[in-house]
Structure 1
């Protein structure tokens, strides 16, 4: 049987066809409206897959904007970030977020879902796209497009309203099924039903939410909340001030936490943790410098240096070594060293050789006293198992992550996970003997490890530190693009490489790196 599109194939062969949002063919993600040839192997995407969920949440954003138009004409929904298993949104000034508004918005969304409004994708010239978006008052979209060197643009139309999205959408609004809206001032959180056995429940992450808010307040103050702002600065050769301001903001945050540390005489263990590629190593050294200025002389321990040898690593169910859990660390040796420090003894630090896959002995000795606190940095540094012998009053816990507040436009957020992935791709290739293919193949297990072993401890931190730099994606682009282009279509991760390459197209490359300071977090990745 011949089918014109993937949608037609799904409609005729599957019960509940609206449970499928797209498909993977030849390691490439396609929308349901893509032409389909039956001789091709096809993997359909449900909402509980990464690519399927991305299509679902983009379609939801479009649906919310359509609903908002019916309540507040000419007002926009702004996509901010994911938090507590939900998507946090804010609205244009003048939209009153209260229970009455939430109920009305929910009602309009459900009407639009029932109306099954078709979502049509068209390719138009850049000039035509600019005309269309100017007519509809989408300033952020036109500002971004005007900084890009491209001939055409893909536009989605729904109910005669134009949209742009970085990625595919469902064919119509009826693909939205179970959802929940919850007030989270000054905006709302949208919760999605993607697993039948999981309730629509919002898990508030207080520290993370405050960190996002603090970073956004700063970017809004400087009027650099969108990619086009950064692109324009680079086009005008004004990047020096942007870099200096961005670096100064991060240094100021480090200064704040160091002030807190020296004001408390009980603190002699400083714990710095966060997910992969957050800039922990560089930040630990900058904290060390700031504390030295304040009269402390901290010793630095990296939990990475306590990794077990690859030959001794616990194997997972798939037979691969465990790189992500706390069990990848030699906990016994780490705790023995902590006991020695607490007993007033000096210890000799190990050093992990990533190329050889084993720990090596060094000549570095450290000890603990009032003027020599110990700074422990690593992915699992906040895990109580690592420092269970140390009293809580003697610890100061820092959680670091890259929480970029840049958006492509009002409807297209930049994933903080993507920024960390770009950092890791470059670092692994330059310093850890890992190809881009290896990194992408391993990335999902990294994220799973973070969900299990790292994110759960972020709200226990005394200080949440955002290591994102406003200009960094522009600086990372040339390095990441070169690595991603090496990945062939025959590889399963090709779809991810292709997605990242399309994402990087929105950024003007920062060619001259001379203004990036030697102690920048970015230097940890680009050198």
Structure 2
């Protein structure tokens, strides 16, 4: 570059480099200052891969595998490594891999083969797992470059058609942008939802573990240089599998297939079919509760924006239709007064920990109800931050049940003194039926975050920036207080609707576009906007008033 220099501000200090120096080269000078591997860079607040170059003055911030964005890039890259290994081993036999869904700190994958126009799962054995791990290891040792190329979108459609990646072929038919970034690893090409590490030498921490008919591709968690242990979650796995089976039954199991249905004018049919399935599942659940006998406390818990409130109302209606007398009941009414509520390490009120609830009072009141006594139940006043009593009298008769909703509902420490046989525990979450394509899972947390952005803007006047800013804290609370108890539920219920992101898109996009480029939350907003860009918009006109989606977009017949 004719001796031209650029001045870069890195970690608060200015340093000069020849123009055109790669960020990979610059990162080598700073790798010792980081506990975790540097995998991406923010150059003038714009996310860049390490093999890009600094061609002008500016600020440089490194992202490691400990950062949320860096962690995603690492996992994405390991997935590409796995795909290439599968192709090397079995591609000639027309066997490919599908990345099905995320469980814990890994992705569940299956090998598939087309036979007579039908996709058949190829059950893997320990021998195949060992071959796959060895092939991946050899590529890591070889440190092969992961190359990115921008191609015309029409050419991408043709490419994926020729490669037999029909999900991606459908996806890009609806892409507005004229260009697509394609990644290549040793002549194996694919598209991924986000950036990659520079080469396979970075991908030293992963494991391949046989599970069900396929395998778990396992990643590190908080310790970025140690693979997280795989803890089987049978109920979650079964719920995810059932949901995907429903998606296949409706012939809508990817975003491309959903876009096809919207473009073909099938939105009302989708809504009616999905709501009918939803109501049927709630009806079956009500029958299961009744057949369990003597269950007085229906405990409902789930992560943020799972639709717990609407679900508890709809379940109550089904229970009433079958002869019970249900009483929806929020655990929030047992919050301790704010002046004695525990605080976190930053001195902020910790409203998500179990100690924020008056557990002793809850157990006392519930046992009194079980004994047939009349109890004056508390009501929490969120404006004053104190519990109040307003003659909310309750007596549990023969057919009465409490439908209790709150984040600690599945934790037996909450209801420690209540007989096990008096409780029926339900875990609810929005576990989407869709995948982006063959190799890109649709993150369920993204779906819940978009639900919450839309709802909080409508009901609380909270900006998308504020919701994104507190999301990591919400997620930490879920991982601590909700997810560890999900497998202890009697039933796991999926509240996701197959078309919901196409509807939420119209509400969420303006809120996300309002986030300024200089904000800390801009990168996440930009990522979510790119994610929503995959979907064709779908109007909300035909959505039922009792739909769980109404809890977020408005117009619900329930008090949500």
Q: 1:198 to 1:139 in 2, by over 3 A?
A: closer
Instruction: Give yes or no for contact 1:398–1:461 (8 Å, CA) kept in 2.
Output: yes
Q: Does 1:459 find its partner at 2:487?
A: yes
Instruction: Give yes or no for contact 2:301–2:406 (8 Å, CA) kept in 1.
Output: yes
Q: Distance between the aligned counterparts of 1:312 and 1:433, measured in 2?
A: 28
Instruction: Give yes or no for contact 1:133–1:162 (8 Å, CA) kept in 2.
Output: no
1:309 Cα deviation (Å)?
4.9
Q: How does 1:361-400 map to 2 (within 5 A)?
A: 361-362=389-390, 364-400=392-428
1:449 Cα deviation (Å)?
0.7
Q: Distance between the aligned counterparts of 2:182 and 2:398, measured in 1?
A: 62
Q: Distance between the aligned counterparts of 2:189 and 2:309, measured in 1?
A: 44
RCO comparison, higher one (Cα < 8 Å, 6+): 1
Q: Distance between the aligned counterparts of 1:284 and 1:256, measured in 2?
A: 14
Instruction: Give yes or no for contact 2:363–2:418 (8 Å, CA) kept in 1.
Output: no
Q: Distance between the aligned counterparts of 2:165 and 2:105, measured in 1?
A: 29
Question: 3-state DSSP class of the match of 2:172?
Answer: helix
Correspondent of 2:75 among 46, 54, 57: 57
Q: 1:518 to 1:213 in 2, by over 3 A?
A: same
Q: Distance between the aligned counterparts of 2:23 and 2:480, measured in 1?
A: 35
Q: 1:523 to 1:424 in 2, by over 3 A?
A: same
Q: How does 1:478-493 map to 2 (within 5 A)?
A: 478-493=506-521
1:307 corresponds in structure 2 to 335
Q: Does 1:35 find its partner at 2:53?
A: yes
Q: 1:189 to 1:144 in 2, by over 3 A?
A: same
Q: 1:434 to 1:365 in 2, by over 3 A?
A: farther
Instruction: Give yes or no for contact 2:426–2:489 (8 Å, CA) kept in 1.
Output: yes
Correspondent of 1:295 among 323, 343, 348: 323
Q: How does 1:80-159 map to 2 (within 5 A)?
A: 80-93=100-113, 95-159=122-186
Q: Answer with 282-291 or 98-107: which moved more.
A: 98-107
Q: Answer with 434-443 or 27-36: which moved more.
A: 27-36
Question: 3-state DSSP class of the match of 1:373?
Answer: strand
Q: Does 1:168 find its partner at 2:203?
A: no
Correspondent of 1:2 among 6, 17, 21: 17
TM-score, scaled to structure 2: 0.89
Q: Answer with 302-311 or 158-167: which moved more.
A: 302-311
Q: 1:191 to 1:241 in 2, by over 3 A?
A: same
TM-score, scaled to structure 1: 0.94
Correspondent of 1:48 among 44, 53, 66: 66
Q: Distance between the aligned counterparts of 2:421 and 2:494, measured in 1?
A: 24
Q: Distance between the aligned counterparts of 2:375 and 2:55, measured in 1?
A: 65
Instruction: Give yes or no for contact 1:314–1:327 (8 Å, CA) kept in 2.
Output: yes
Q: Distance between the aligned counterparts of 2:57 and 2:177, measured in 1?
A: 34
Q: C-alpha deviations, 1:144-174, integer Å up to 9, x for none?
A: 1112333221111222222111110111111
Q: Answer with 191-200 or 136-145: which moved more.
A: 191-200
Question: 3-state DSSP class of the match of 1:408?
Answer: coil
Q: How many residue pairs get matched?
A: 526
2:233 corresponds in structure 1 to 205
Q: Answer with 446-455 or 118-127: which moved more.
A: 118-127
Cα RMSD (Å) = 2.2
Question: 3-state DSSP class of the match of 2:298?
Answer: strand
Q: Does 1:431 find its partner at 2:459?
A: yes
Q: Answer with 389-398 or 212-221: which moved more.
A: 212-221
1:191 corresponds in structure 2 to 218
1:215 Cα deviation (Å)?
0.9
Q: Name structure 2 gaps, 5 residues minimum.
A: 1-15, 114-119, 555-560
Q: C-alpha deviations, 1:293-335, integer Å up to 9, x for none?
A: 1100111111133334555432211222213222333334433
1:255 Cα deviation (Å)?
1.4
Q: 1:357 to 1:231 in 2, by over 3 A?
A: farther
Q: Does 1:415 find its partner at 2:443?
A: yes
Q: Distance between the aligned counterparts of 2:341 and 2:463, measured in 1?
A: 21
Q: Distance between the aligned counterparts of 2:336 and 2:467, measured in 1?
A: 20
1:350 Cα deviation (Å)?
4.3
Q: Name structure 1 gaps, 5 residues minimum.
A: none
Q: Distance between the aligned counterparts of 1:359 and 1:423, measured in 2?
A: 29
Q: Distance between the aligned counterparts of 2:212 and 2:462, measured in 1?
A: 43
Q: 1:433 to 1:457 in 2, by over 3 A?
A: same
1:119 Cα deviation (Å)?
1.5
1:356 Cα deviation (Å)?
6.2
Question: 3-state DSSP class of the match of 2:409?
Answer: coil
Q: Distance between the aligned counterparts of 1:327 and 1:434, measured in 2?
A: 27
1:21 corresponds in structure 2 to 39
1:269 Cα deviation (Å)?
1.1
Q: 1:281 to 1:215 in 2, by over 3 A?
A: same
Q: Answer with 162-171 or 341-350: which moved more.
A: 341-350
Instruction: Give yes or no for contact 1:324–1:445 (8 Å, CA) kept in 2.
Output: no
1:339 Cα deviation (Å)?
3.4
Q: How does 1:254-293 map to 2 (within 5 A)?
A: 254-293=282-321
Q: Does 1:70 find its partner at 2:85?
A: no
Q: 1:38 to 1:384 in 2, by over 3 A?
A: farther
Q: Answer with 339-348 or 297-306: which moved more.
A: 339-348
Q: Distance between the aligned counterparts of 1:100 and 1:40, measured in 2?
A: 51
1:402 Cα deviation (Å)?
0.8
1:249 Cα deviation (Å)?
1.7
1:224 Cα deviation (Å)?
1.1
2:11 corresponds in structure 1 to none
